[in-house]
């Protein structure tokens, strides 16, 4: 059985799978999952835009008995098969059974279909699918529509140089979604092409818990409180 902490560690399986996630984002994900274990936040996990599974396999490993992990992607070419092959190399039979893959354009998923795929409300959704204003807005709405108490939506490519429309879509969505709020901007580390900055959004009852978690995780970075999409958000000085 793969320990998710092992997957989300430098030099582990995650480095063998092609994809997009920076070392600082890996730290943020580890920290969130550790927190959810510590305070017993339960629920499903999902990723919209799995690509070859670089992040998804670690998320699958983080599921507990009775939980499921849902991967949505349009899966062009051999992408789905390569994810499955990599997952089979490292995950146990029990972990593999918790995986549900849907070859779908996420914008075509109705809210009831999302809820049916997820089963339990979500404790962690990673939004990293179609990179347009409209698509990201819809993906965030889907994620928030079936969210557990204490759950998070982690959105990729916030403030991305190449996708400024994604940033606009994220802010527009967060202004109108009532049950989640942006809490922290996780600056990317390393090259832009290896992965972008992420925006951590949290179910509203747990905002300060996750803010303190990120400030503590990134204690080497100077934090600053700003207002974004009507919420108080912690930004960090990125010295990279």
Ligand X SMILES: C[S@@+](CC[C@H](N)C(=O)[O-])C[C@H]1O[C@@H](n2cnc3c(N)ncnc32)[C@H](O)[C@@H]1O
In the complex, which residues of this chain contact ligand X (CB under 6 A)? 19-21, 47-51, 54-55, 72-74, 76, 79, 105-107, 128-130, 135
DSSP 121: P
Instruction: State the Cα–Cα distance between residues 22 and 37, nearest whole angstrom.
Output: 23
Cβ pair 109, 139 in contact under 8 A: no
Q: Which residue has the CB atom at the shortest distance from ligand X?
A: 19
Q: Which of 7, 22, 4, 39 is nearest to 203 (CA)?
A: 39
Please say whether the beta carbons of 204 and 179 come within 8 A.
yes
Nearest distance in Å: CB 131, ligand X: 7
Could you tell me how far CA 55 lies from the centroid of its own chain?
8
The nearest distance, CB 54 to ligand X, in angstroms, is: 4
Structure tokens of 212?
């303190």
Report the 10 Å Cβ neighbour count for 94.
Answer: 10
Residues in the chain: 240
In the complex with ligand X, the residue whose CB is nearer, 79 or 100, is 79
Nearer to ligand X, 49 or 187 (CB): 49
Min CB(232)–ligand X separation in Å: 28
Distance CA 147, CA 56 (A): 19
Q: How far is the CB of 236 from ligand X (least distance, A)?
A: 21
CB of 106 to ligand X, least distance (A): 4
Nearer to ligand X, 69 or 72 (CB): 72
């Amino acid at each position: 059985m793969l320990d998710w902490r092992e997957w989300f560690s430098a030099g582990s399986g995650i480095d063998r799978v092609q994809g997009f996630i920076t070392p600082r984002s890996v730290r943020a994900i580890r920290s969130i999952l550790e927190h959810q274990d510590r305070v017993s936040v339960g629920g499903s996990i999902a990723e919209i835009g799995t690509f070859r599974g670089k992040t998804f396999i670690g998320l699958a490993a983080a599921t507990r008995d009775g939980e499921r992990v849902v991967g949505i992607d349009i899966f062009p070419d051999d992408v789905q098969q390569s994810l499955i092959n990599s997952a089979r190399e490292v995950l146990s039979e029990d972990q593999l059974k918790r995986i549900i893959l849907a070859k779908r354009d996420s914008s075509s998923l109705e809210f009831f279909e999302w809820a049916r795929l997820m089963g339990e409300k979500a404790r962690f959704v990673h939004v990293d699918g179609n990179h347009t204003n409209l698509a990201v807005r819809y993906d965030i709405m889907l994620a928030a529509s079936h969210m557990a108490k204490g759950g998070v939506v982690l959105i990729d490519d916030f403030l991305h140089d190449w996708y400024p429309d994604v940033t606009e879509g994220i802010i527009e969505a967060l202004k109108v979604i009532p049950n989640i709020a942006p809490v922290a901007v996780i600056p990317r580390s390393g090259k832009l092409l290896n992965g972008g900055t992420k925006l951590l959004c949290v179910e509203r009852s747990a905002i300060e818990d996750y803010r303190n978690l990120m400030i503590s995780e990134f204690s080497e970075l100077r934090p600053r409180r700003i207002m974004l999409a009507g919420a108080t958000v912690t930004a960090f000085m990125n010295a990279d």
